[in-house]
C-alpha cells in the first residue's frame, strides 16, 4: 500500500471519528452566553442579583508611572541571555543575538514617553461592564462630509493589542467611495488596559456579549465587526448569539471549523481538487500537502497547549522578566507573519515592523502586567469549545449576518472558500491575497482597510436589494 493510500485511509478514519465524536452531540448553541454575568471582585451568592455596573464612560490617558519605567530598565540590565546554537536562526525560537539587539535598543534608545504621545493621539476611554473595566478607543471621522458614518468595531488577538490597528485608523476614518467609519477598538478583557475577570469562566462567549453591550452603551444597536485571532472567534460568537446587532462580520481567520462535511470534502479535494475548490490553483494549497500543514500546526501551537492548561505557570516567568516576555512575543511576530522567516537571522522581524512598533506592543503587556490574564483567556475558552460546548465551533453563522473573509497568504490557519461557505451561511465576500500574515491590519493596513470597505459596500448593496424586494 502506497504512502498516499495510507494517508487517505488515515483521513477517512479520522473523519469518521470526528463525525461520531462531534456530530451527534448537542446541535444547539449553549444559551447562557446571551445572559448577563458578573466577573468583578464582589462575591455573589448563588441566585443573588448581580451588582449594577457604573455605566459612566470615562476618558482614559495612557500614562505609565515613572517607577514602572525605572524598574523595567533595572530588570533589563540584569538580563541573562543564553546564546543560540550557531546557524539555528529562529528555528529554536527568538535568536539570542536578535534578543540582545532588542534589549539594548529598549534600554538605551526606545522612548516610551514619545510612544505614549502617539498612542494618545486618539481618544481612549474606559467603562464598567459586568463588573470589570473595559478599555477602548473611540474614533469618529473628523471630516465625514456628506458620507454616512458607519459604526465598526475592530478587535485584536494574542499576542497583539489595540496597537495593531493604529496604521489602519486613518484609512478607515477618511471618506472613500461614500464609506467612512466611526471606530470602536476595545482591549479584550485581561489584555492591556482592560481588567481581567476575577472569577472563572470569562471567555470568548462572554466577551462577545460584553462587546455588544459596549456598542449599545455608545449608542450603536447595530454595527459592523472586524477581527483576527481571538478577535475573529469573538466576532464569530457575536454573530451567532447576537445576529440582531451585527450588520456584517469581516474576518481574517475562520478559527477551527469542525463540521463533519468539511473533513469529508477535504478528503475528496485531496484526490479531486477541481471538484471541490472554486480556485484550485490557490485554494488547494491551503490544505495540502496535508501532512506538512499538520506538522506546521503542531509546531506552532505549543504555546496554545500551555495557555489552555496551565497559563499561570509560564506566565509567572513572563510577568517577571521583560526580556523573557519580549522573546516570547517577538517569536510570534516572526513565524506568524511568514513561516519562511524562521530561517532568517533576525526572524524577519523588521521587514514588516519597526523595532519601536514591536516594543510598544510588548510594553502594553509589560506595563499592565497582563500577560498572565491574557493567557488565561485560552484556559477559559478552549476546554469548553473542544469539549461540552463544541456546537459553538460546529454550527454555522446563520444567514441573518453577512460575512466577509480575507485570506492572507501566510495566515496560520488558511481555509478555502468551501470551508467558509460551511462556516457562514451568508458568505457574501471571500478574497485571497498573495502576501500578508496573521497580523493583517498591522502588516498590510491598506489591503485590510480596502477589503473591509469592499465588504461593507457589499453588505449595504445586499441590504438595499432586500429592502426593495420587500417593498
Indicate the domain borders of the chain. 32-263+297-470
Q: Which residues of 27-43 are buried (b: 16+ CB within 10 A; e: fewer)?
A: eebeeebeeebbbbeee
Q: Which residues does the annotation mark as catalytic? A: 229, 378, 438
pTM, full prediction? 0.93
pLDDT at 58: 99
Distance from the first to the final alpha carbon of the chain? 62
**Is the pLDDT confidence value at 13 over 80?**
no
pLDDT (mean) for 211-230: 99
- Residue 152 CB: number of other CB atoms within 10 A? 27
pLDDT (mean) for 51-59: 98
Q: What confidence category does residue 17 fall into, taking pLDDT thresholds of 50, 70 and 90?
A: low
pLDDT (mean) for 297-326: 97
**Is the pLDDT confidence value at 471 over 50?**
yes
Which positions ≥6 away from 401 have C-beta within 8 Å?
239, 243, 246, 248, 249, 424, 426
Q: Please give the Cα distance from 432 to 418 (Å, whole number).
A: 13
For 254, 256, 402, 431, the CA distances from 259, given in Å and listed in that order, are 13, 9, 20, 22
What 3 state SS string does 133-200 have?
EEEEEEECCCCCCCCEEEEEEEECCCCCCHHHHCCCHHHHCCCECCEEEEEEEECCCCCCCCCCCCCC
- Residue 98 CB: number of other CB atoms within 10 A? 23
pLDDT at 256: 67
pLDDT at 24: 46
Which positions ≥6 away from 460 have C-beta within 8 Å?
none
pLDDT at 11: 57
List the grid coordinates of 434: 498573495
Judge: domain 32-263+297-470, CATH 3.40.50.1820.
yes
Q: What confidence category does residue 384 fall into, taking pLDDT thresholds of 50, 70 and 90?
A: very high
**Is the pLDDT confidence value at 34 over 90?**
yes
pLDDT (mean) for 60-83: 98
Instruction: Decide if 287 contacts 269 (C-beta within 8 A).
Output: yes
More confident residue, 19 or 212: 212
**Is the pLDDT confidence value at 23 over 70?**
no
Crossing angle of helices 355-368 and 96-108, rounded to 10°: 80
Q: Using one digit for the tens of pLDDT, what is the confidence trace for 251-276?
A: 999 876 666 677 777 777 777 888 88
How far is Cα of residue 127 from the mean position of the Cα atoms in its chain? 22
Q: Please give the Cα distance from 10 to 8 (Å, whole number).
A: 5
**Is the pLDDT confidence value at 293 over 50?**
yes
pLDDT at 225: 99
More confident residue, 178 or 427: 427
Cell 472554486, residue located: 278
More confident residue, 293 or 232: 232
pLDDT (mean) for 97-116: 99
pLDDT at 71: 99
pLDDT at 390: 84
What's the mean pLDDT when you consider all of the chain? 92
List the grid coordinates of 175: 471618506
Q: What confidence category does residue 47 fall into, taking pLDDT thresholds of 50, 70 and 90?
A: confident
Bond preceding residue 159 cis, omega within 30 of 0 = yes
Q: What confidence category does residue 1 fall into, taking pLDDT thresholds of 50, 70 and 90?
A: very low
**Is the pLDDT confidence value at 365 over 80?**
yes
Q: Name the nearest CA neighbour of 334 among 350, 355, 323.
A: 350
Q: Please give the Cα distance from 239 to 341 (Å, whole number).
A: 35
Q: What is the 8-class DSSP label of residue 356?
A: H
Q: Name the nearest CA neighbour of 236 among 207, 194, 260.
A: 207
Which residues does residue 183 pair with via DSSP β-bridges, in sequence order? 139, 152
Instruction: Decide if 413 contacts 261 (C-beta within 8 A).
Output: no
Q: Please give the Cα distance from 165 to 114 (Å, whole number).
A: 18
Which residues does residue 123 pair with via DSSP β-bridges, in sequence order? none
Q: Is 457 exposed, middle or buried (0-12, 13-18, 19+ CB in 10 A)?
A: middle
pLDDT at 245: 99
More confident residue, 104 or 389: 104
Q: Where are the alpha helices (DSSP H) in 252-310?
A: 260-271, 273-276, 280-287, 290-300, 302-309
Amino acid at each position: 500500500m502506497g504512502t498516499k493510500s495510507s494517508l487517505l485511509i488515515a483521513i477517512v478514519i479520522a473523519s469518521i471519528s470526528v463525525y461520531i465524536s462531534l456530530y451527534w452531540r448537542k446541535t444547539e448553541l449553549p444559551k447562557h452566553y446571551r445572559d448577563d454575568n458578573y466577573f468583578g471582585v464582589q462575591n455573589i451568592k448563588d441566585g443573588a442579583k448581580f451588582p449594577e455596573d457604573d455605566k459612566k464612560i470615562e476618558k482614559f490617558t495612557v500614562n505609565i508611572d515613572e517607577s514602572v519605567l525605572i524598574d523595567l530598565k533595572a530588570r533589563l540590565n540584569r538580563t541573562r541571555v543564553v546564546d543560540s546554537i550557531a546557524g539555528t536562526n529562529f528555528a529554536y525560537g527568538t535568536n539570542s543575538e536578535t534578543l540582545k539587539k532588542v534589549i539594548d535598543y529598549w534600554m538605551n534608545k526606545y522612548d516610551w514617553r514619545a510612544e505614549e504621545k502617539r498612542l494618545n493621539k486618539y481618544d481612549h476611554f474606559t467603562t464598567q461592564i459586568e463588573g470589570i473595566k473595559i478599555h477602548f478607543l473611540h474614533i469618529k471621522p473628523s471630516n465625514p462630509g456628506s458620507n454616512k458614518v458607519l459604526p465598526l468595531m475592530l478587535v485584536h488577538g494574542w499576542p497583539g493589542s489595540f496597537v495593531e490597528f493604529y496604521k489602519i485608523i486613518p484609512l478607515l476614518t477618511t471618506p472613500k467611495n461614500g464609506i467612512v467609519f466611526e471606530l470602536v477598538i476595545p482591549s479584550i478583557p485581561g489584555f492591556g488596559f482592560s481588567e481581567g475577570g476575577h472569577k472563572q469562566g470569562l471567555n470568548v462567549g462572554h466577551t462577545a456579549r460584553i462587546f455588544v453591550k459596549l456598542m449599545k452603551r455608545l449608542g450603536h444597536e447595530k454595527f459592523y465587526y472586524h477581527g483576527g485571532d481571538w478577535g475573529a472567534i469573538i466576532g464569530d460568537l457575536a454573530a451567532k448569539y447576537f445576529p440582531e446587532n451585527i450588520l456584517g462580520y469581516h474576518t481574517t481567520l475562520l478559527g477551527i471549523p469542525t463540521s463533519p462535511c468539511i473533513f469529508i470534502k477535504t478528503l475528496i479535494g485531496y484526490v479531486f481538487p477541481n471538484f471541490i475548490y472554486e480556485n484550485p490553483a490557490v485554494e488547494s494549497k491551503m490544505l495540502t500537502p496535508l501532512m506538512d500543514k499538520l506538522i506546521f500546526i503542531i509546531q506552532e501551537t505549543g504555546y496554545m497547549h500551555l495557555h489552555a492548561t496551565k497559563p499561570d505557570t509560564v506566565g509567572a516567568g513572563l510577568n517577571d522578566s521583560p526580556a523573557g516576555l519580549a522573546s516570547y512575543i517577538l517569536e510570534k511576530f516572526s513565524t506568524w507573519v511568514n513561516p519562511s522567516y524562521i530561517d532568517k537571522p533576525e526572524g524577519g522581524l523588521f521587514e514588516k515592523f519597526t523595532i519601536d512598533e514591536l516594543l510598544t506592543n510588548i510594553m502594553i503587556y509589560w506595563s499592565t502586567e497582563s500577560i498572565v490574564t491574557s493567557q488565561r483567556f485560552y484556559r477559559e475558552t478552549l476546554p469548553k469549545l473542544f469539549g461540552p460546548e463544541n456546537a459553538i465551533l460546529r454550527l454555522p453563522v446563520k444567514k441573518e449576518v453577512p460575512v466577509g473573509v480575507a485570506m492572507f497568504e501566510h495566515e496560520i490557519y488558511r481555509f478555502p472558500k468551501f470551508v467558509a461557505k460551511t462556516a457562514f451561511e451568508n458568505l457574501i465576500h471571500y478574497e485571497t491575497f498573495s502576501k500578508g500574515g496573521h497580523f493583517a491590519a498591522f502588516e498590510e493596513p491598506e489591503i485590510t482597510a480596502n477589503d473591509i470597505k469592499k465588504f461593507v459596500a457589499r453588505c449595504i448593496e445586499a441590504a438595499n436589494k432586500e429592502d426593495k424586494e420587500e417593498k
